[in-house]
Structure 1
Amino acid sequence: MSLRRSAMELTAELVARVERTEPDPGPMPGQPDPTEADLEATAAALLTSRPDGPLWLFAYGSLIWKPELEHLEARQAVAHGWHRRFCMRLTRWRGTREVPGLMMALDRGGSCAGLAYRLPDADPHGQLVRLLVRETDSRRPTNVPRWMRLATPNGPLHALAFVASPEGANYAGRLPQRVVARTLARAAGHWGSGAQYLYNTVAQLEAHGIRDRNLWALQARVAKEIRALTLPVAA
Structure 2
Amino acid sequence: MSVNTIEHNRKRFNFEGIDAIWLFGYGSLIYKVDFPFLEKRPASIRGWVRRFWQASHDHRGTPEAPGRVVTLIEQPGAVCKGMAYRVSPHVFEYLDVREKNGYLRFSTTMTFDDGSHAEGLVYIATEDNEAFLGEASEADIARQIASATGPSGPNSEYLLRLAESLRALGDDCAHTFTIESHLRSVDNADR
TM (norm. structure 1) is 0.72
Query: Is residue 161 from structure 1 mapped to residue 127 from structure 2 by the alignment?
Result: no
Amino acid at match of 2:73: D
Q: 2:49 aligns with which of 59, 80, 83?
A: 83
Amino acid at match of 2:97: V
Query: Is residue 135 from structure 1 mapped to residue 99 from structure 2 by the alignment?
Result: yes
Q: CA deviation at 1:53?
A: 8.8
Contact 1:46 1:146 (C-alpha < 8 Å) held by counterparts: no
- Closer, same or farther: CA 33–144 of 1 in aligned 2, 3 Å: closer
In structure 2, stretches of 5+ residues that fail to align are none
2:72 alignment partner in structure 1: 106
TM (norm. structure 2) is 0.87
Mapping for residues 178-193 of structure 1, pairs under 5 Å: 178-193=139-154
Q: CA deviation at 1:98?
A: 3.7
When you count strand as a share of all residues, which structure comes out higher? 2
Give the Cα separation in 1 of the matches to 2:39 and 2:97. Answer: 23
Q: 1:72 aligns with which of 16, 29, 38?
A: 38
1:46 alignment partner in structure 2: 13
Contact 1:83 1:111 (C-alpha < 8 Å) held by counterparts: yes
- Closer, same or farther: CA 91–32 of 1 in aligned 2, 3 Å: closer
Give the Cα separation in 1 of the matches to 2:92 and 2:38. Answer: 16
Larger Rg: 1
In structure 1, stretches of 5+ residues that fail to align are 1-30
Contact 2:61 2:148 (C-alpha < 8 Å) held by counterparts: yes
- Secondary structure at 1:172 match in 2: coil
Deviation digits for residues 35-58 of structure 1 (CA, Å, limit 9, x no counterpart): 7xx26xx335312699x8941010
- Closer, same or farther: CA 159–103 of 1 in aligned 2, 3 Å: same
Deviation digits for residues 103-134 of structure 1 (CA, Å, limit 9, x no counterpart): 111121132111111124xxx2x221211011
Identity among equivalent pairs (%):
27
- Closer, same or farther: CA 127–92 of 1 in aligned 2, 3 Å: closer
CA RMSD of aligned residues (A): 2.4
Mapping for residues 1-235 of structure 1, pairs under 5 Å: 33=4, 38=7, 42-47=9-14, 54-109=20-75, 110-120=78-88, 124=89, 126-137=90-101, 142-152=102-112, 153-229=114-190, 231=191
Give the Cα separation in 2 of the matches to 1:212 and 1:84. Answer: 8
Give the Cα separation in 1 of the matches to 2:48 and 2:94. Answer: 24
Give the Cα separation in 1 of the matches to 2:15 and 2:30. Answer: 26
